[in-house]
């Protein structure tokens, strides 16, 4: 693996972000115009509830990805690939049966579900069924990442986004309802996943994958998978309860306000995820080789670079949010206010720091402490969000999410990394704390002088000055680390 592979994968990953942002810029105003604010908010809540079915994979795809990255034998890789697919297929079949029984049981006995229209109830059932059917084919992304062909995975991810957009256009053209949209997008996404799986089989260079199945025991995948599943449960609560809390304590219009704000910053979260997808094979390789020096350099670089990107997104997103919303949607009614965007931007920075640390641990299957940290974070986030949304409104949900992430994983993950005897390097506390504190202080200065209320040229000046300031600060603080990583990539 050379620096060329990293550049190709990163280039394709960030091209995917640009295209995805473009699709979302078009999708949201069109959906809002056709569905209306309240119906659009309902659709968002529906998708949020269905996203909880992500737990249906029980962490198997991520576990397989990490195991593939640490393996250098084709026979073992073939066994992991097939065993992972079979496990997911069994899970899919079982969950379809359980899910249908639960849905129709709830429809019969639950007064809450009967409060929804037939359109919403049927749409949720269809979304749930297609989501579960796609579960076994998620294993294909494991192959693309482990084989250092992330760009292929990004092609299929963009195809999925494009399908969602085209489904909306077809919906409007035929003047159909959400049931039609659920069926059309569900079928199309399932087809994309099947094609992705077929290509993954060919890329794995396995002539007859069935003869390799017995080389891998199911427990090899189950054990890290269940740990990832437990950690994923906590992450799901952190990421997917916000819209439900807003709809429960406020209304569906506020869901549209919050989800629009979150969508702006979620593009930066996508960037982090894509970056991590590229570096997973390198973590696995250096860990397998017990090359602690290179592993430490890679990690230190990530703990510097990713938060720098996040604080720049926070800066630009907060300063120009009002202008972006107006240019994007044509009015200010979905602008949630300065405080909402400030809290979400701060969460983006904290989330980036946490991602760097947790990504190292999950890639190397060092999950025991991470599970407890994630679950504790979810509990704090849920309690804080429910309490604050009733006190200060929609901004309280963003603040609750920030408090949960800042008070638990940001504090405990560095301690866990240092105390983990498998990792033979020390977390760079001084560099991390210095950078993080500098970012927070500088952003608070901007907030207290109401920099986002200046004219456009004034905000542009603030943004340019701050980005240069952040860049020079990191360069002079971490000049040696940057040089070491550049030399590492050249070799």
Burial class (CB in 10 A: 0-12, 13-18, 19+), 421: exposed
Choose the most confident range, by mean pLDDT, from 71-80, 322-331, 342-351, 401-410: 342-351
Other Cβ atoms closer than 10 A to 230: 18
Residues in the chain: 491
pLDDT in tens, 48-64: 777 767 666 667 777 77
**Residue 35 phi, psi dihedral angles, 5° rounding:** -85, -25
Is 90 exceeded by the pLDDT of residue 375?
Answer: no
Mean pLDDT (the chain, rounded): 80
Backbone angles phi and psi of 450, in degrees to 5: 55, 45
Give the residue extent of every domain in the chain. 1-233, 241-491
CA angle at residue 78 from 76 to 82, to 5 degrees? 120
- With cut-offs at 50, 70 and 90, classify the pLDDT of residue 286: confident
In angstroms, the CA 285 to CA 276 distance is 14
Residue 270, C-beta contacts closer than 8 angstroms, at least 6 positions apart: 17, 20
Nearest to 133 by CA among 91, 185, 179, 180: 91
pLDDT higher than 50, residue 137: yes
H helix and E strand count, the chain: 20, 0
Task: For residues 10 and 469, give the distance between their C-alpha atoms in angstroms, rounded to a whole number.
Answer: 25
- pLDDT > 90: percent of the chain: 20
Q: Which residues of 172-200 are buried (b: 16+ CB within 10 A; e: fewer)?
A: eeeeebbbbbbbbbbebbbebbeebbebb
Are the CB atoms for 89 and 214 separated by under 8 Å?
A: no
The pLDDT confidence band at residue 91, using thresholds 50, 70 and 90, is confident
Closest CA to 167 of 149, 189, 138: 189
Q: How confident is the model at residue 135 (pLDDT cuts 50, 70, 90)?
A: confident
Q: pLDDT-based confidence at 112, cuts 50/70/90?
A: very low
Mean pLDDT of 212-240: 61
pLDDT in tens, 445-455: 999 998 888 99
Terminal Cα-to-Cα distance of the chain (whole angstroms): 9
Residue carrying the six token digits 């990504």: 359
At 171, the pLDDT band (50, 70, 90 cuts) reads very high
The string of pLDDT tens digits covering residues 12-23 is: 766 777 777 778
Would you say the pTM of this structure is higher than 0.85? no
Model confidence at 180, pLDDT cuts 50, 70, 90, reads very high
Is the Cα torsion angle 269, 271, 274, 280 positive or negative in sign? negative
> Residue 222's pLDDT band (boundaries 50, 70, 90)?
low
């Amino acid at each position: 693996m050379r620096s060329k592979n990293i550049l190709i994968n990163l280039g394709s990953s960030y091209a995917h972000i640009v295209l995805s942002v473009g699709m979302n810029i078009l999708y949201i105003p069109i959906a809002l115009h056709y569905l209306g604010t309240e119906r659009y908010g309902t659709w968002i809540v529906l998708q949020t509830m269905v996203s909880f079915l992500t737990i249906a994979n029980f962490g198997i795809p991520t576990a397989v990805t990490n195991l593939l990255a640490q393996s250098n034998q084709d026979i073992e890789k073939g066994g992991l690939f097939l065993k992972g697919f079979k496990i997911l297929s069994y899970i899919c079949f079982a969950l379809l049966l359980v899910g249908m029984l639960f849905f129709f049981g709830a429809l019969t006995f639950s007064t809450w579900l009967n409060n929804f229209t037939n359109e919403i109830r049927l749409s949720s059932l269809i979304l749930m069924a297609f989501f579960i059917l796609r579960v076994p084919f998620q294993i294909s992304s494991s192959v693309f990442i482990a084989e250092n062909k992330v760009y292929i995975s990004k092609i299929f991810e963009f195809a999925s986004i494009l399908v969602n957009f085209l489904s909306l256009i077809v919906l409007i053209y035929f003047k159909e309802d959400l049931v039609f949209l659920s069926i059309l997008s569900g079928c199309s996404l399932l087809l994309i996943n099947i094609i992705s799986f077929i290509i993954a089989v060919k890329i794995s260079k396995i002539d007859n994958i069935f003869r390799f199945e017995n080389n891998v025991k199911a427990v090899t995948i189950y054990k890290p998978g269940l740990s990832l599943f437990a950690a994923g449960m906590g992450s799901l609560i952190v990421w997917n309860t916000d819209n439900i809390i807003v709809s429960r304590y406020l209304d569906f219009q506020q869901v549209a306000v919050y989800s629009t704000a979150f969508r702006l910053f979620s593009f930066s979260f996508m960037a982090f995820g894509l970056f991590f997808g590229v570096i997973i094979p390198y973590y696995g390789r250096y860990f397998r080789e017990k090359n602690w020096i290179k592993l430490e350099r890679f990690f230190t670089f990530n703990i510097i670079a990713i938060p720098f990107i996040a604080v720049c997104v926070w800066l630009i997103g907060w300063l120009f949010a009002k202008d972006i919303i107006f240019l994007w949607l044509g009015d200010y009614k979905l602008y949630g206010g300065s405080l909402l965007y400030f809290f979400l931007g701060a969460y983006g920075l904290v989330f980036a720091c946490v991602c760097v640390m947790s990504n190292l641990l999950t890639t190397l299957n060092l999950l025991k402490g991470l599970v407890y940290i994630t679950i504790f974070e979810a509990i704090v986030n849920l309690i804080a969000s429910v309490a604050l949304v009733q006190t200060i409104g929609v901004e309280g949900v963003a603040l609750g999410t920030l408090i949960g992430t800042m008070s638990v994983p940001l504090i405990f993950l560095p301690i866990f990394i240092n105390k983990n005897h498998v990792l033979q390097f020390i977390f760079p506390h001084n560099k991390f704390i210095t950078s993080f504190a500098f970012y927070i202080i500088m952003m608070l200065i901007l907030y207290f002088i109401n920099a986002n209320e200046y004219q456009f040229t004034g905000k542009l000046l603030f943004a340019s000055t701050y980005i240069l300031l952040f860049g020079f600060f990191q360069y002079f603080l971490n000049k040696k680390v940057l040089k070491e990583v550049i030399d590492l990539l050249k070799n």
